[in-house]
Amino acid sequence: MKKKILFLCTGNSARSQLAEALMRHMAGEHYQVMSAGMKPETVDPRVYQVLSEAGIDAENLHSMSAQALQDQHFDVVITLCDRASNECALFSDSDALIHWDFKDPKPLEGLAPFRETLEGLRSRLALFLMLNGEAQQDVIGPVELFKIMSDPLRLRILMLIEDEQALSVSDLTKVLEVSQPKVSRHLALLRDGGVLQDQREGLWIFYRLAENLPTWIRHTLATVRNGNPGMINTEKLKLSALADRKKPGYSHKDSTLNA
């Protein structure tokens, strides 16, 4: 069954109309898309012009009152202006209420403000669809994730594994310069919490991000890593200097188990 999504704005004449058409264009097969306004006005002609330029179907766009939809259940309601965000009570039974504040392009001259709004919406919708385009696994929630990341050692472990794909306990112990039992305790916590999974290859055990990790968690880890590129420089240099570094696919008859 398609999820129902509603874009809500004051006049339902520009921003929410652009969002409705763009969402149908990007993911119409997965969502039933509607838009409405608190005080509906005639759709601005520039909406049709900008959508046509972008090759987006602008048919069936018309202004609608939010009050006319208040008895319907929506999976997601996204408000696009501050005034509309104050009226979310109309859709209090929705599964998700989200606010994106976009400047109204109507008072500005020409098509440029409408093009800018369309591209801003495209970026927001692309991220929304990337993070919500799959069935979410019951791994951990945001509170639990940020508690995990609040510990400096666990954060460095996660950043190293996010960067290197897979690491052994032995190599983590060497580059972090902490005891093996301490590293193992943190790895066990991350594994039991569903963030990491272990992989045995011969006598070695490697840790990597869990295969069923939701996209939003992977995106969060990647954002932290790329937004702070120098945070594990020391550890990366130590890894590159390890003469006996173990990687998945490595096997050695004389090696001892590291768990």
Residue 165 reports pLDDT greater than 80: yes
Tokens 């939003």 found at: 216
pLDDT, tens digit, 9 for 90 and up, residues 183-231: 999 999 999 989 999 988 887 899 999 998 888 999 999 999 999 999 9
Mean of all residue pLDDT scores within the chain: 89
Among residues 254, 144, 166, 173, the alpha carbon closest in space to that of 210 is found at 166
pLDDT band, residue 250 (cuts 50/70/90): very low
Which residue in 54, 88, 149, 188 is the catalytic one? 88
Q: How far, in Å, CA of 178 to CA of 221, rounded?
A: 23
Beta pairing partners, 200: 205
Say whether 88 sits in a helix, a strand or coil. Answer: helix
Average pLDDT over residues 230-247: 89
pLDDT band, residue 255 (cuts 50/70/90): very low
In percent, how much of the chain has pLDDT > 90? 73
pLDDT at 258: 43
Report which DSSP code applies to 28.
T
- 216 given a catalytic annotation: no
Q: Give the helix ranges, DSSP H, for the chain.
A: 15-27, 45-53, 82-85, 112-132, 142-149, 152-164, 169-176, 180-192, 215-227, 233-241
Residue 232 reports pLDDT greater than 60: yes
pLDDT at 15: 96
Structural domains in the chain, CATH included, are 3-132 (3.40.50.2300), 142-241 (1.10.10.10)
Q: How far, in Å, CA of 185 to CA of 198, rounded?
A: 13
Which residue in 5, 6, 9, 14 is the catalytic one? 9
Q: CB neighbours (10 Å) of residue 233?
A: 9
Output the furthest CA–CA distance in the chain (Å, rounded): 77
Residue 127 reports pLDDT greater than 80: yes
Report which DSSP code applies to 206.
E
pLDDT at 259: 40
Which residue in 5, 21, 81, 159 is the catalytic one? 81
Q: What is the pTM of this model?
A: 0.75
pLDDT at 257: 37
- 81 given a catalytic annotation: yes
Q: Which residue has the higher pLDDT, 51 or 244?
A: 51
pLDDT at 134: 60
- 88 given a catalytic annotation: yes
pLDDT at 100: 93
